[in-house]
Amino acid sequence: MRARIQVGERVVELQAALADRVKKLEEALVKIKTLQGLLPICSYCKKIRNDQDYWQQIDTYLAEHTQAEFTHGICPECIEKHIKGQMEALQKMQDGRNGKIP
């Protein structure tokens, strides 16, 4: 009789564990569907609107909804567009302070 009770308890435990795992898988599926669906993104700043109607940076949004980790860098196109001009201007200012003629 005790053996049957123990088997019954074990079956109940396994069913509860299985139900918990199914719930977690369903939650993961919802997240995956969110990432596969359409994301509302600003065409200017590229921020994404989340479910609470809050706009956040794309890297922040993806980090919260995936296991992706981000590092930041500057692509060659942005170096030309944003950084190169600033570096040249700083160099001219530095040359002017040092008495060099450009």
Per-residue pLDDT tens digits for 40-52: 888 888 898 887 8
pLDDT score of 81:
85
Q: What's the CA dihedral at 51, 57, 63, 69 to 10 degrees?
A: 170
User: In the prediction, which pLDDT does 68 show?
Assistant: 82
d(CA 23, CA 21): 5
pLDDT of residue 5: 92
**Distance, CA of 90 to CA of 39 (rounded, Å):** 40
Position 15 scores a pLDDT of 95
pLDDT of residue 65: 78
**What predicted TM-score, i.e. pTM, was given to this entire model?**
0.41
Confidence of residue 14 (pLDDT cuts 50, 70, 90): very high
**Section 76-95 average pLDDT:** 87
**What sign does the CA torsion over 37, 41, 43, 45 have?**
negative
Instruction: Calculate the average pLDDT of the chain.
Output: 85
Chain centroid to Cα 69, Å, comes to: 7
What is the number of other CB atoms lying within 10 angstroms of the CB of residue 58? 15
Residue with tokens 């160099």, as numbered in its chain: 91
Contact 41, 47 (CB under 8 A): yes
